[in-house]
Structure 1
Amino acid sequence: MARTRHNRHTSASVSPGGREVTRDQAAHIQRMAEGIGQAGLLVVEAATNVEAIASNIGTQVELFKDLTLAARDLRDGNRSLSDDASTAAEATQSMNQELAQSREEMTASLSEVNYMISWVGNTSTQLETLQQEMENVGRIAHHIDSIAQQTHVLALNAHIEAARAGVGATGFTVIANAIRDLADQAIDAAASISTTLDPLIASVNDLGGTTRSARRGAERARNAIDMVAGSLERSQHAGSVLDRRVEAIATFSRTINDKVDLFSSSLLSLFEGVEHSENELTAATQSLDDLMSRTNSLVQLSAKIGVTTADTPIVDEVVKKASVIANLFEAALNAGEISIDELFDEHYQEIPHTNPTQHLTQFTTFVDRTVQDLLEDFLDFSPSVVFAAVVDRNGYLSTHNLKYSLPPSGDPDWDTAHCRNHRFFDDTTGINAARSRDEFLLQTYRRDMGGGVFRLMKDASAPIYVGGLHWGALRVGYAPLSLDEENAAKARRRPSHQALAPEPDNDAARSELGALLSPW
């Protein structure tokens, strides 16, 4: 920033018409100035409350925005759930139909298996009967063979006896031979029957075993089919229950979807209303900021009129001490304790691990050493004084009271309130104080104490000039007096008799004051 040379001047103005102000007029002007001061406090307090409401509304807007997005996500998710439930309902219905068809097919298969079991059972019974009959035939053939063997022996014996009998038994011999031949044929026939029956009986036996195995397999198949059929029946029943429940879920989901749509629409309307309120509060905050700025100008002009108010002693002390600091700085320059470049250094070096961030410059140590005691004396000047500090023209607060210059703790909220030195205060109030070139500047503002805590304050500042160059300002913050305290202070300040006259250069300030008051 360019260093601006200070050209202090005065104007030789006089009161309107060259007349002195009467005591009553002076009292009215004093009450007006005090009223302006009170109005300034009320405007700042109102701005504080509106800003707090606006901050809360802003938070609510963000919450409503998140809630609106969440409702939208819920609506979309519920629609997806409704679609999934409808799809699941269709799937369960299809599954139930397939289960019913499978059960019908299983019932038909079970009937066929039962028929097969019955057929195999009948066949097995017939084979057993055939086996028994064939065994009976075998036994008969065996008896025939036995009888034929015996007949053959008898025919052989008869032949022998006929040969012994001689010629007279020739006919008997012929008969015996014929019986023997017949017996041999019977033996051969019996043997042939046995030869034929044996493999047939073996085949029937094998076939009977196969049919018995087939019957047992069919019975196992029937049991398995019965189990499957029972499982299908239970599955079909469960599917029917599931179908009803999924359909109920789908119906409920559609109902919820309708309600969520209504809720989302209502929430969106509510969000838009809150957002509109936030915009209106933002506009109101801006209007109050403008009003606060105008009120501060009124307070400043009322102080310039020369009327004694509760602010006058502090303003006078700030102007006097700013001049003392300027003399100390110039003496140090002349003594070579610090150079002009060091005193006006703008290369602010950040101090690591500080939050809020603190900085150092080439003049910080010098200023700390030079003005610290003077700043501490301010705390004893008046019980209403809260702090005293010096800032350069960029709002860099190099030196503060010791109670506000504690080592950082690492807790941002605590450090905001207790580590206020070596920091930038370039808010509207701070930068106005740092750059003002008026004899003094009187402002009303909110002091940020950290953690969302603010204090209603008045700020009196006066510029510091070194070698004709604007270095910065002395700032003193003090708490506004209560009405009773202010009345008591006015009683102590009020003279018993003395006609009050305006200062020679107060007409211009009074005219500017009238111009500012004209809109109201």
Structure 2
Amino acid sequence: MSSAVLRRIEPADERPRQSLSDIGDRSGHLGVEIADMAGLIGDLAALGHQQTAQARAAVAAARDMNTTHAELAAAMDSARHSANLTRTTLSESAGTVSSTIATTIEKIERLGSGAIALKDSIQSVATTIDRVEKASAAIQDIAQETQLLALNASVEAARAGDAGRGFAIIAATVKRLADQIRPLSIDNQRNLNELMRTLDSVLGEAGQNAETAQAAIAESNKARQTGTALETLIGTAERLTADIDAMARSVDKSAQCYESLRNGLKHLVASVKLGDAKLTEAEARVESILGISEDFILFIAESGIETPDTPIIALCQETAQRIGAMFEQAVARGDITMADLFDENYRAVEGSDPLQHMTRFVALTDRILPEIQEPILGADPRIAFCAAVDRNGYLPTHNLVYSQPQGSDPVWNSANCRNRRIFNDRTGLSAGRSTKPFLLQTYRRDMGGGNFVLMKDASAPITVRGRHWGGFRIGFKV
């Protein structure tokens, strides 16, 4: 509505002024509804952004899974080929291996039996040699006795003279025979001793060979078990090949399912993205409508039409002027410089959650603002808070009830520790940066933990020596 139209709204038109007040009241309710709708659309837009990101992540995951399945399928094909090759090789080699093992076992057993028989034969030879050795010793003894006998016979023959001459010839012959036998017997004994030592050595080696042969025979029994194990291995390879074939079929089927899923997710992403774009557009439209509604309320107020919000707006404007004047007085007294009062170097408070900040003008606002802000809380039962913010939405000094020391619970901190924080949402920035006589906004106040309260926010600019410092805000219930 233009001012010219409002000027034509006279009592003479038989339209009571109350109707104009109703227009202001209804426009306020309209602003509330638009703000609520804007908040809901904002939530939907945020949800749309989140769903888009999740859908894209799901598509990427499906793509990665499809790639993984392709790699798995290739690995399964390779494993299947290897299993088939192993099964074929084992099957072809099983007969040869079994025959070779059987032949080897037979030879080992024959060698073992031969080694044991050889040991027994050597022991028999040793026994025979021992008997020969004893006989040789006996022959030596006989030869020695014969020599003595021949010597005695020679002596007796010499005593007998001519009568013992024939006997002497016999004795000499016997002596020659004994002399010939004795060296041969000694050589035979020496050869028998050497042969016995050789047989002892051979007998020791034969014993070791016999023990080795017995061990080989025992091991051959294990070789027979190896043949059985080989047959079992062939059966296992056949079952493994069958299992790999079944797994490969499942992998192929799963890969097809994931490909279908990925295509479906692509369509879902496109749909969600389109919905997200529409919600973003709707959010912008609602923000525009909300701005028009706020301008319309300002227009109504400037036209002199009283609404239920008029007293709070007036109180907000008066308080903003008072704070500006007190800031100017502080600068004039030298309590603070203009540079410090307009400090935008926000220093984060370590460990705070939600994040709090400090500036060079916090000490001043903590000293002078509570005595201005606290009484306003009782000026109207609808008022929930009031605070001064700078041009960037930074709120240095809040009401005492919202200025509690932070604890370990971020949700509790968000609702009860609202000082030293930057509220750079649409409402906070608009309140701090608006230079209009006043600004009446409707918004959803975030109380933390996903809880929102529908509020109205009246703000008026704070100026210091002609320079815009920020704005004073009064939040009140609709």
Task: Report the TM-score when normalising by structure 2.
Answer: 0.72
Q: Which residue of 1 aligns with 2:39?
A: 48
Measure the CA separation in 2 of the matches of 1:297 and 1:436: 15
1:356 aligns with 2:352: no
1:261 aligns with 2:261: no
Q: Which residue of 1 aligns with 2:309?
A: 314
Counterpart pick for 2:217 among 209, 218, 222: 222
1:346 aligns with 2:342: yes
Shift of 1:84: 6.6
Q: Compared with structure 1, are the counterparts of its residues 323 and 48 closer, same or farther at alpha carbon in structure 2 (3 Å cutoff)?
A: closer
Deviations 1:80-115 (A, max 9, x none): 677777569949949979996877666544433322
2:111 alignment partner AA: M
Q: How does 1:378-397 map to 2 (within 5 A)?
A: 378-397=376-395
Q: How does 1:9-408 map to 2 (within 5 A)?
A: 13=4, 15=6, 22=13, 36-59=27-50, 62=53, 90=82, 93=86, 107-135=102-130, 153=149, 157=153, 193-194=188-189, 196-224=191-219, 226-227=221-222, 229=223, 232=226, 236=230, 243=237, 247=241, 250-251=244-245, 254-255=248-249, 257-258=251-252, 261-262=255-256, 264-265=258-259, 268-269=262-263, 271-272=265-266, 273-274=268-269, 276-277=271-272, 280-281=275-276, 283-301=278-296, 304-305=299-300, 312-323=307-318, 325-326=320-321, 329-330=324-325, 333=328, 336-337=332-333, 342=338, 345-350=341-346, 352-353=349-350, 354=352, 355-362=354-361, 372-408=370-406
Measure the CA separation in 2 of the matches of 1:43 and 1:51: 12
2:106 alignment partner AA: S
Measure the CA separation in 2 of the matches of 1:348 and 1:383: 34
Shift of 1:427: 2.4
* Higher RCO structure (Cα 8 Å, ≥6 apart): 1
Measure the CA separation in 2 of the matches of 1:53 and 1:424: 24
Shift of 1:45: 2.7
Instruction: Provide structure 1 residue ranges, at least 5 long, that are not aligned to the other structure.
Output: 1-10, 481-520
Instruction: Provide structure 2 residue ranges, at least 5 long, that are not aligned to the other structure.
Output: none
Q: Compared with structure 1, are the counterparts of its residues 88 and 214 closer, same or farther at alpha carbon in structure 2 (3 Å cutoff)?
A: farther
Measure the CA separation in 2 of the matches of 1:319 and 1:45: 25
Shift of 1:446: 1.8
1:445 aligns with 2:448: no
SS of the residue 2:457 aligns to: strand
Task: Report the TM-score when normalising by structure 1.
Answer: 0.67
2:415 alignment partner AA: A
Q: Is the 8 A contact 1:145 1:187 kept in 2?
A: yes
2:342 alignment partner AA: E
Q: Compared with structure 1, are the counterparts of its residues 471 and 344 closer, same or farther at alpha carbon in structure 2 (3 Å cutoff)?
A: farther
Measure the CA separation in 2 of the matches of 1:343 and 1:134: 129
Q: Is the 8 A contact 1:344 1:471 kept in 2?
A: no
Deviations 1:18-62 (A, max 9, x none): 865755697777666655544443333333334334444544555
Measure the CA separation in 2 of the matches of 1:334 and 1:170: 178
Counterpart pick for 1:456 among 454, 457, 468: 454
Measure the CA separation in 2 of the matches of 1:216 and 1:413: 86
Q: Compared with structure 1, are the counterparts of its residues 160 and 71 closer, same or farther at alpha carbon in structure 2 (3 Å cutoff)?
A: farther
Q: Is the 8 A contact 2:79 2:244 kept in 1?
A: no
Q: Compared with structure 1, are the counterparts of its residues 129 and 16 closer, same or farther at alpha carbon in structure 2 (3 Å cutoff)?
A: same
1:473 alignment partner AA: G
Q: Compared with structure 1, are the counterparts of its residues 299 and 186 closer, same or farther at alpha carbon in structure 2 (3 Å cutoff)?
A: closer
Shift of 1:145: 6.4
Q: Compared with structure 1, are the counterparts of its residues 163 and 424 closer, same or farther at alpha carbon in structure 2 (3 Å cutoff)?
A: closer
Q: Which residue of 2 aligns with 1:5?
A: none
Deviations 1:243-289 (A, max 9, x none): 46765674565456446534643554465425742552354144134
Q: Is the 8 A contact 1:47 1:285 kept in 2?
A: no
Q: Is the 8 A contact 2:356 2:419 kept in 1?
A: no
Q: Percent identity?
A: 25
SS of the residue 2:441 aligns to: strand
Measure the CA separation in 1 of the matches of 2:157 and 2:16: 194
